[in-house]
Structure 1
Amino acid sequence: MSTDTAVAPPAGPATPPVDWNRARALVHSAGRAAAPPVRHLAPADADGCTLAAGLAPVTDLPAFPTSSVDGWAVRGPAPWRVVGRVLAGAPAPALTTDGTTVEIATGAMVPAGTAAILRIEESTRTADGLVTGVPRPAPEWRLPGEEARAGEELVPAGTPVDPGVIGLAASCGLDTLAVRRPPRAALLVFGDELLTAGPPGAGRVRDALGPSVPGWLRRYGAAVAPADVVVPVADTRAAHVAALRAALDEAELVCTTGGTMHGPVDHLHPALAELGAEYVVNTVAVRPGFPMLLARLTRADGAVRFVAGLPGNPQSAVVALVSLVAPLLAGMQGRGLPHLPRVTLAAAVPGRGAYTHLALVRLDGTDGRAHPVPHVGSSMLRGLATADGFAVIPPGDAGKPGDEVSLVPLPLLPGERLR
Structure 2
Amino acid sequence: MSVTGWHQARRIAREAGRPLPPAEVPLDRAAGSALATPLVALSPLPAYDAAAMDGFAVAGTGPWRITGRVLAGDPHPPAPLSPGEAMEIGTGALVPAGAAAVLPYEQSTRTGRTVSGAFAPGRHIRRRGEDCPAGQEVLPAGTVVTSVVLGLAASLGHDTLTVHRRPRVATVVTGAELCRAGIPAAGQVRDAIGPMLPGLIRAAGAEPASQTRVTDDPTALVDALLRPDAEVLVVCGATSAGAADHLRGALDTLAARVAVRGVACRPGHPQLFAVLPDGRFVVGLPGNPYAALVAALTLLFPLLGRLAGRAAPPALTATLAGPVTAHDRDTRLVPVTRIGSLARPAGHDRPGSLWGAAGADALAVVPPGHAGGEVELLALPAGDLVTAADRRPGQVAGVPVSR
| Both proteins in one fold, TM over 0.5 | yes
Q: Partner of 2:400 in structure 1?
A: none
In structure 1, the residue matched to 2:253 is: 274
Unaligned stretches of 5+ residues in structure 2: 398-403
CA drift of 1:213 comes to 1.8
1:250 aligns with 2:223: no
| 1:378 partnered with 2:363 | no
Q: Which residue number corresponds to residue 126 of structure 1?
A: 111
CA distance in 2, matches of 1:381, 1:93: 63
Q: List gaps (5 residues or longer) in structure 1.
A: 1-13
Displacement, 1:212?
1.2
Partner of 2:179: 195
CA deviations on 1:104-146 (whole Å, 9 max, x unpaired) are 221122222111212234444434x233333366601112332
Between 111-120 and 86-95, the greater mean CA deviation after superposition: 86-95
Q: Secondary structure at the match of 1:154?
A: strand
Partner of 1:28: 14
Contact 2:143 2:311 survives alignment (8 Å): no
Distance (whole Å) between structure 1 residues aligned to residue 39 and residue 207 of structure 2: 23
Question: Contact 1:277–1:296 (CA<8 Å) still a contact in 2?
Answer: yes
Structure 1 partner of 2:401: none
One-letter code aligned to 2:229: E
Equivalents in 2 of 1:198, 1:175: separation in Å? 47
Do the aligned partners of 2:103 and 2:119 also contact (CA within 8 Å) in 1? yes
2:95 aligned residue? 110
Q: CA deviation at 1:242?
A: 1.6
Identity %: 44
Give the direction of change, closer, same or farther, for the CA distance of 1:54–1:399 in structure 2 (3 Å limit). farther
| Helix, strand or coil at the partner of 1:21 | helix
Shift of 1:278: 1.5
Deviation, 1:99, is: 1.3
C-alpha displacement of 1:200? 2.7
Assess if the C-alpha contact under 8 Å between 2:290 and 2:350 holds in 1.
yes
2:219 to 228, 234, 238: 238
Residues 201, 208 of structure 2: 8 Å contact kept: yes
Match of 2:341 in 1: 368
- The alpha carbon displacement at 1:279 in A equals 2.0
Question: What whole-Å deviation, never above 9, does each CA across 1:48-77 have from its counterpart, x for those lacking one?
Answer: 221112212123321322111122211122
Matches within 5 A, 1:152-301: 152-224=136-208, 228-231=210-213, 233-246=214-227, 249-299=228-278
- Is the 1:79–1:132 contact (alpha carbons within 8 Å) kept by the matching residues of 2? yes
Change (3 A) 1:250 1:84: same
SS in structure 2 at match of 1:189: strand
Match of 1:331 in 2: 306
After TM superposition, the score normalised by the length of structure 2 is 0.90
Rounded to whole Å, the distance in 1 between the matches of 2:168 and 2:234 is 11
Question: Which residue of the other structure, out of 352, 362, 383, is the alignment partner of 1:389?
Answer: 362
Q: Does the residue aligned with 1:51 lie in a helix, a strand or coil?
A: coil
Distance in 2 (alpha carbons) for counterparts of 1:83 and 1:389? 61
Equivalent-residue separation in structure 2 for 1:266 and 1:96 (angstroms) = 82
CA distance in 1: counterparts of 2:198 and 2:287, whole angstroms: 15
Q: Which residue of structure 2 lines up, in the alignment, with residue 404 of structure 1?
A: 374
Match of 1:40 in 2: 24
For 1:45 and 1:347, the matched residues in 2 are separated by 44
Shift of 1:398: 2.2
The letter of the residue matching 1:252 is E
Q: Give the superposed CA RMSD.
A: 2.1
Q: Which amino acid aligns with 2:396?
A: L
1:399–1:287 Cα change, 3 Å: same
Contact 1:326/1:338, CA 8 A, preserved across alignment? no
Q: Which deviates further from its counterpart, 55-64 or 236-245?
A: 55-64
What's the CA shift for 1:298? 4.4
- After superposition, the C-alpha distances for 1:180-205 in whole angstroms (9 at most, x for unaligned) are 13211122110011111222332111
Stretch moving more, 80-89 or 375-384: 80-89
In the superposition, the TM-score normalised over structure 1's length comes to: 0.86
Please give the alpha-carbon distance, in whole angstroms, between the structure 2 residues aligned to 1:165 and 1:362: 28
Q: Does 1:139 find its partner at 2:123?
A: yes
Amino acid corresponding to residue 268 of structure 2 in structure 1: G
C-alpha distance in 1, partners of 2:183/2:130? 61
Q: Distance in 1 between matches of 2:81 and 2:359?
A: 67
Distance 1:349 1:360 in 2: 11
Distance 1:359 1:163 in 2: 31
Task: Please tell me the residue identity of whatever aligns with 1:293.
Answer: L
